[in-house]
Structure 1
Amino acid sequence: MEEKPVHRQSRTRHRAPGRYAATFLSCALSAVLLSLPAAAQTPQTAAQRPEVQTCQLGELRLESGAVIPDFRMTYITHGTLNADRSNAILSIHGLRGDRSTQTAWAGPGLALDTGRYFVIQPDTLSVASLDPNATTSPTRSGMNMNFPRFTMRDMVNAEYRLVTECLNIRRLVAVTGTSMGGIASMQWAVSYPDFMAAVIPLVPQAHANRQVNFIWESARQAIMLDPKWRDGSYPNDDPPRRGTGVGMIIQNAFGISAGGFEGLFASRDQVHRNYAQQVEQIGNTTQARDWIYRTWAIESHDIAAAPPFNGDLRAAARSIRARLLLIPNCYDQLLPPGESGVMTVAMHAPNAKIVDIDDLAGHGGTRSPRGIAVITSEIRDLLQRIDDGRPGFSGPQYPRHWSRPDRCPG
């Protein structure tokens, strides 16, 4: 991959909205909201779509001591599990994604090459899908707002049980994920340090920062102020669609940089039209209760919160034994890599590399042309090194364009 030409495109083309801006708009906004269906990311015929499978796990005991009864997880897989069950990769979706959202990375010749690897994509705990048969959630359990609150570690523990109990896999090649899935990936690195060779978080956080607390509370309040919220006891056929759409689109103001907005929209009227379209689309396709529970997990998360670290992020980072390939975006104002602890983890984990997407799409930069190219190149290189038995990473530990390893470019 030739880095410089791609880099120049991400810096210059945003100034003149046109065909590129229209394409960029559809992928960047959808990536921030995690609203693209799998068919929009990787065209598949009905015959090619993987079968949805269900893992019945019985009781799921949470960190709080609460128990979720009759817990199930739905998932899909790509590729073939080899005879010794040693070629599996877990790929975790984001806040509003589902089992199909990560399919953009899985396929022959893609970042997660399904000609070599068996890729597992679960619907994670409380996935905000309207699918009535998906993974257990406040809505699908029938408990609604009586559902116990859970943490990111609870989500990771459920995923671990899926992999070990239903798929009988004892070690993974890698764990990766985007946004909330990237956060979960970092927790995997701390909770199960010997279970995988590599951890590859995309636009993650190590701990929630105060801006994130503000963003998610604002989003929740927009939903809860909708008269149809009814304290969370709304009927499924009459949900708070308007509040859900408005609340969830709040993250766009932070997920895309100011320069990114200038490149995405040619006029104020275009902004307003797109806003209205996104609000309607999100409100019609997202389960508000389940989404709210997941934001509580994100905004309370800290990979160092549990014993034995007791809040010491550097100690948590030093405990990581897998190769850690961190891929944030310094234009990300939703999960900024400095304030969210990603830089600290990169400096203190024993075997880490950090790659800056460096794209004006911000949190949605994983699906910009530059983001796709950078991520695909870095993941394929790391997985090849693991397959070849070579240690470490290719290239520098920190991006060459950073003047200091603990700072994003100014």
Structure 2
Amino acid sequence: MLEPRYHVIKDFQFESGEMIQDMKLEYATQGIKKVDGEGNITNAFIYLHGWSGDFSSVRNLESVIGPGKAIDTNQFYVISPTALGAPGSSSPSTSGLRTKFPQYTIKDMVRAHYQLLTGGLGIKHVRGIMGTSMGGFQVLNWALQYPDFMDFLILNGTSHRTTNRMYGVYHLMNQIIVADPGYEKGNYVHNPTDAMEKSAYLSYLWSLSPANYEECFQTRREFTDGVEDRKKDSLDWDANDIIWRNKALLGHDLGKRISKISIPALILAINQDQIVDFNYSVLPMHGAMDNSQLFHYDSIWGHYGCTKDIAKTEVAIKKFVKLI
């Protein structure tokens, strides 16, 4: 069972120059820890969750991360932190700072976890880092900011940039929230539920494959029931947390810098992913990263297939890890 733990970073400085005196970071561990003669952990593996997850999101990958799996917890000490800006770690809602919480970037998210690993857990090097969706944005920045810190990368349903369509969807989501009368410039007493539900609805409309919307819902009622189920997810969201997170996402564009990454990387991609488009997001990234391998597959789940169909990638991950 995953048990959350916490580490506090003193005087964490953001890329903007702003500072938080006590930055709380949540994380969990699983697997067998191996150390060298000096007590250094030698088999750490980091998993970074997607846009709406936390430390427990690693459970969604239990078909590839666990005892005897592709990422074998008998061999790897798996650390799954909650991202900066997500509840559990310091965020606008959990810190009490609300709109005064510094606007963070993907680089800030990476540097916070770097300080967690090095300062909090005493880790000097990790075997590998895997990230799903927005977690993959962080993995790529890890490779650029700390290229000697890891042996390999696994990029799951992610890209080096936000496409115009992705930018438009998440920018519109922020506009929906800010325009809601209940948002009150971020100083709301009660979370603006209507705006949260509309945001969830918006994200739902492109998270699945086109086929899923037509083949998995036999009637209009079944489809609208699916929408209502997705809206229920937003009950746990905080408006300021969403806005701050989306702004970090919207600033993600590594451009030509992606070609500087020489660390062995496995790219996992879904042919029907509408969020991370195969032709405009995945192929250009693969082409720019000389030391990358690409494994792509079909999933009626679209972007959600990154977790729901992750079992399809197990053999590819096993082969890749064995070569490192």
Q: Same fold (TM over 0.5)?
A: yes
The one of 235, 250, 269 equivalent to 1:328 is 269
Q: Structure 2 matches for 1:309-388, cutoff 5 A?
A: 313=256, 316-340=257-281, 342-368=282-308, 371-386=309-324
Residues 2 and 56 in structure 2, CA contact (< 8 A), matched pair in contact too: no
Alignment correspondent of 2:99: 145
Residue identity matched to 1:346: H
Matched, 1:104 2:48: no
The one of 107, 114, 139 equivalent to 2:73 is 114
Structure 1 CA distance for aligned equivalents of residues 47 and 95 of structure 2: 25
Matched, 1:300 2:241: no
Q: Which moved more, 1:170-179 or 1:219-228?
A: 219-228
Residues 244 and 282 in structure 1, CA contact (< 8 A), matched pair in contact too: no
Residue identity matched to 2:244: Y
Q: Which runs of 5+ in 2 are unaligned?
A: none
RMSD of aligned Cα (Å): 1.6
Residues 42 and 127 in structure 2, CA contact (< 8 A), matched pair in contact too: yes
Q: Structure 2 matches for 1:4-403, cutoff 5 A?
A: 49-84=1-36, 85-105=41-61, 106-127=65-86, 129=87, 134-235=88-189, 238-279=190-231, 281-304=232-255, 313=256, 316-340=257-281, 342-368=282-308, 371-386=309-324
SS in 2 for 1:169: coil
What are the superposed Cα offsets for residues 272-326 of structure 1, whole Å, 9 maximum, x if unpaired? Answer: 12212321x123212221122111111111224xxxxxxxx1xx23321311111
SS in 2 for 1:57: strand
**1:216, distance to aligned residue in structure 2 (A):** 0.6
**1:234, distance to aligned residue in structure 2 (A):** 1.4
Structure 2 CA distance for aligned equivalents of residues 296 and 146 of structure 1: 15
Structure 2 CA distance for aligned equivalents of residues 377 and 168 of structure 1: 32
Residues 182 and 191 in structure 2, CA contact (< 8 A), matched pair in contact too: yes
Q: Aligned residues: percent identity?
A: 28
**1:160, distance to aligned residue in structure 2 (A):** 1.0
Structure 2 CA distance for aligned equivalents of residues 146 and 248 of structure 1: 25
Q: Which runs of 5+ in 1 are unaligned?
A: 1-48, 305-312, 387-410
Q: Which moved more, 1:141-150 or 1:103-112?
A: 103-112
Q: Greater strand percent: which structure?
A: 2
Closer, same or farther: CA 111–224 of 1 in aligned 2, 3 Å: farther
What are the superposed Cα offsets for residues 167-197 of structure 1, whole Å, 9 maximum, x if unpaired? Answer: 1111111100111111111221222112111
Structure 2 CA distance for aligned equivalents of residues 163 and 337 of structure 1: 32
Q: Which moved more, 1:291-300 or 1:64-73?
A: 64-73
Structure 2 CA distance for aligned equivalents of residues 99 and 61 of structure 1: 23
Structure 1 CA distance for aligned equivalents of residues 297 and 113 of structure 2: 27
**1:258, distance to aligned residue in structure 2 (A):** 1.3
**1:347, distance to aligned residue in structure 2 (A):** 1.5
Residue identity matched to 2:168: F
SS in 1 for 2:152: strand
**1:376, distance to aligned residue in structure 2 (A):** 1.8
Closer, same or farther: CA 249–68 of 1 in aligned 2, 3 Å: farther
